Amino acid sequence: QLSTPQASPERVPSPEEQEWAGPEALCPGWLEDEAPDGEVPGDSGDPDGATHAYERLQSALCQEGLPPTLDCSAEPRTGFGPLDMTVCILGSPTPFLPVLLEGGTRCPGAMVLCLSPSWASRVPSESCPGAWSLLLSRGVSFKVGGHSALESFVPPRRANYVTGTFAPGDPEGGWVGELARDLDCPTGGSVPLAHRLEDTLVTRWVLAARANLPVPPTLAFVLGTRGDLPAQPAGPAVRLVRLQDPQGQQSLVQEE
User: How many whole angstroms separate alpha carbon 70 and alpha carbon 55?
Assistant: 13
Dihedral Cα 220, 214, 203, 224, nearest 10 deg: -20
Check whether 226 has a pLDDT greater than 80: no
User: How many whole angstroms separate alpha carbon 66 and alpha carbon 81?
Assistant: 30
User: How many whole angstroms separate alpha carbon 92 and alpha carbon 96?
Assistant: 8
For the stretch 43-60, pLDDT in tens is: 444 556 788 899 999 999
Higher pLDDT, 202 or 87: 87
**Parallel/antiparallel/unpaired status of strands 111-114 and 120-124:** unpaired
224: left (phi over 0), alpha (psi -120 to 50) or beta: left
Comparing C-alpha atoms, which of 106, 121, 30 is closest to residue 69?
Answer: 30
Check whether 61 has a pLDDT greater than 50: yes
Q: Identify the pLDDT of residue 242.
A: 81
**Alpha-helical runs (H) found in the chain:** 15-19, 23-26, 30-33, 50-63, 97-106, 173-179, 191-198, 200-205, 250-255
Mean pLDDT for the chain overall:
79
User: How many whole angstroms separate alpha carbon 235 and alpha carbon 239?
Assistant: 8
State yes or no: cis peptide before 155, omega within 30 of 0.
yes
For the chain, the structural domain boundaries read 49-189, 199-243
Q: Residue 144 phi/psi, 5° resolution?
A: -60, 145
Q: pTM of this prediction?
A: 0.67
**Comparing 64-78, 142-156, 181-195, which segment has the lowest mean pLDDT?**
181-195
